Amino acid sequence: MNAVFVLAGVSYISALLGGYISDACLGRFKTMVCGFLLYITGYVLLTLMAVDKLPRFICPTSRDPGGADDANNAPCKAAVYISVTIVGLGVGTVKSNIAPFGAEQLNTANPQRTRSFFNWFYWCINLGSLVGVCVITYIQQDCPGVCVNGFFCGYLIASVCLLVALVVFVVVMPCYQVAQPEGSVLGNIARIFWEALTSQFKHWRYPQPVPSMSPLRLEPRFLDRAKIRYGGSFHESAVDDVRSLGRLLAVFIALIPYWLVYFQMETSFQAQGLHMRFSVNGEEFGNNSASLNNNLGKKFSVPAAWLTLFNQLFLIGAIPVLTTFLYPVLDRAGIRLSMLFRIGIGMVFSILAVMVAGGLESYRIFLWRTDNSSHIEQIVGNVTYHAVDISIFWQVPQYVLVGAAELFASIAGLEFAYSAAPRTFQGMIMGLFYTLEGVGSLLGTALLHLVSPFWLANTTDYGNINDNHLDFYLYFLGVLQITTFLAYCGSLYMQRFSLRPIAMPHHRSRRHRRSQRQGLLQEEDEEAEEDQEGDEEDEDEGEGEGEVEVEVEGEGERQEGRRSGRDSYYRYRPVL
């Protein structure tokens, strides 16, 4: 099993577990400290295993005829997987809590400040990733003048950086606002569902007759039956918190095709790049993903995922522009891009990215099959690739488009996972967000294996995509994302324009009047009692007891009431 696969799987699964532990038991600060300790422990083990003469208690290796350690034996592999698993546990635990913990320090409900925080948070993530790729990975792969054992130095630098981060995090602890855990909510969630289910079953079995002359009333929704006012035993806020999980989960599931496209940077995009020309003005590329050899005899190695640098550089440059210029300008103009709207924009960019990649692959295959003079051979990591004479830098637009998709969908998704989640289980919701991101990665791997017999089958030369149809696979991902985007837009449309009939009291509270002025509730009372005297304007502003009884005589009148907003039994209620 690939160690990278183990690391990704454990980190995504432990994100949900880490979020639950912080909400129910330890709180975010203590959970993050534990995560950092696991993180550091795993990297220290990897550092020790990178020593030339491996310690016997860590990795009891055998010796080859030359006296060197054989690091490919089973005991050493077990130590590697144990270390990677510990690192994955630390990554997931920290990942699910660091964003909500940072947002809590704002101590404000201002959506602009929350949006700004998550933008800069994502900017820091990409800056750290850029440093890791440009510095640590370079030292590990090709820096003999700086460090004899590159992997030892790389892991050591990472371990020291994590230790410094933990020390700084703990030292400034008195400056933090540390919220205490509120106990497990999973039990309440299960009890609310069970109570609503039993109440609904009783209603189906013993329906209550409704008088024909009674005012219009709506049957309570499924979860509402667990509320106290409908005979349940839970307060409305607890039931509404559980209901919000459905809305969050719907958005997270809608993002799975987006994650399918996002993880193409690590799979199909790199496979495509290996079959394109690595040269820059006559200089040749090559390492396990790419390397550069110039004609002067000087060799310069580039990290494996070097093209992702364009993705990261774009984000590092674009996020400050959006945060400090574009978003404030739109806010002053009264145009606020909601989180869900920004997620939709990100989906559009992901569609463009995968379609551009598919178009490039179609052109590359066309040249391979029609122009023999464009065929070239390149040796990468002792493997010969039959490539087409097209510069690999033609892939830059698709990487930048994925970065543009992240700029909107990934950041807005993080912000939505924090802002829309009930406070009692924000960590668990953030962990669920990352877990479903991992599900997108796993589904991408499964989908690739599913279509391989049709579009990517090559029994004579494994890894050679010239006689296959990688472009069909990319187009398929684009169609899948388009379908999801249309369903997502339809859901938002229904959320905006759907109406739910409910009984509204005639008494107008101060909050109700304030909501009217803000345009959240668009209602007008036009009731006129035949036996009541007085001025009609005074009657509209007066207060009364009980509920307004409006008799809806026909479907046409009800629809008219919906359109005009004058039926006091109707108000906007989101569906998604």
Q: Is residue 327 located within the same domain as residue 473?
A: yes
In a domain, 156, yes or no: yes
Q: Which of 32-46, 80-94, 327-341, 500-514 has the lowest mean pLDDT?
A: 500-514
For residue 412, the enclosing domain spans: 235-278+323-501+571-576
The residue that leads in pLDDT, 385 or 533, is: 385
Name the band, by pLDDT with cuts 50, 70 and 90, for residue 187: confident
The verdict on 343 and 450 lying in the same domain is yes
What's the rounded Cα separation, in Å, for the pair 19 and 16?
5
Mean pLDDT across the stretch 546-574?
38
Residue 56 vs residue 41, higher pLDDT: 41
Higher pLDDT, 215 or 122: 122
Question: Do 270 and 155 fall within a single domain?
Answer: no
Q: Does 152 lie in the same domain as 28? A: yes
Based on the fold, state whether residues 274 and 415 are members of the same structural domain: yes
**Looking at the predicted structure, is the pLDDT value of residue 412 above 90?**
yes
Q: Are 118 and 63 in contact (CB under 8 A)?
A: no
* Average pLDDT rounded to a whole number, residues 510-521: 45
| Residue range 258-277: mean pLDDT, rounded | 87
- On whether residue 186 sits in a domain, the answer given is no
pTM of this prediction exceeds 0.85: no
Which three-class secondary structure state does DSSP give residue 386?
strand
- As a whole number of angstroms, the longest Cα–Cα distance in the chain is 109
The reply to whether 192 falls in a domain is no
Whether the predicted pLDDT of 458 surpasses 90: no
Q: Is residue 299 part of a domain?
A: no
| CA separation for the pair 349, 402 (Å, rounded) | 7
Per-residue pLDDT at 572: 32
- Per the structure, the count of domains in the chain is 2
For residues 110 and 243, state if they share a domain.
no
**Domain with 110 in it: what CATH number?**
1.20.1250.20
Picking from 293, 287, 322, 321, the residue whose alpha carbon sits closest to that of residue 307 is 287
Burial class (CB in 10 A: 0-12, 13-18, 19+), 232: buried
15 vs 53, which has greater pLDDT?
Answer: 15
Residues 160 and 248 both lie in one domain: no
37-51, 91-105, 137-151, 153-167: which has the minimum mean pLDDT?
137-151
Residues 242 and 167 in one domain: no
Considering the domain architecture, whether residues 134 and 239 belong to the same structural domain is answered as no
Q: Do 159 and 254 fall within a single domain?
A: no
Question: pLDDT category, 401, cuts 50, 70, 90?
Answer: very high
Span 506-527, average pLDDT? 44
Q: Is residue 431 domain-resident?
A: yes
Residues 273 and 142 in one domain: no
pLDDT at 203: 65
The length of the chain in residues reads 576
| Burial class of residue 201 (count of CB atoms within 10 Å of its CB; 0-12, 13-18, 19+) | exposed
CA 484 from centre of chain:
15
- Both 376 and 481 in a single domain? yes
Side chain identity, residue 160: V
- Residue of 312, 292, 294 lying closest to 302 (CA atoms): 292
- Look at residue 256 and tell me if it is in a domain: yes
* Mean pLDDT value across the chain: 76
Q: Which residue has the higher pLDDT, 128 or 528?
A: 128
Q: Is residue 402 part of a domain?
A: yes
pLDDT band at 570 (very low <50, low <70, confident <90, very high): very low
pLDDT tens digits along 371-384: 888 888 877 666 77
For residue 397, being part of any structural domain is answered with: yes
Q: How confident is the model at residue 537 (pLDDT cuts 50, 70, 90)?
A: very low
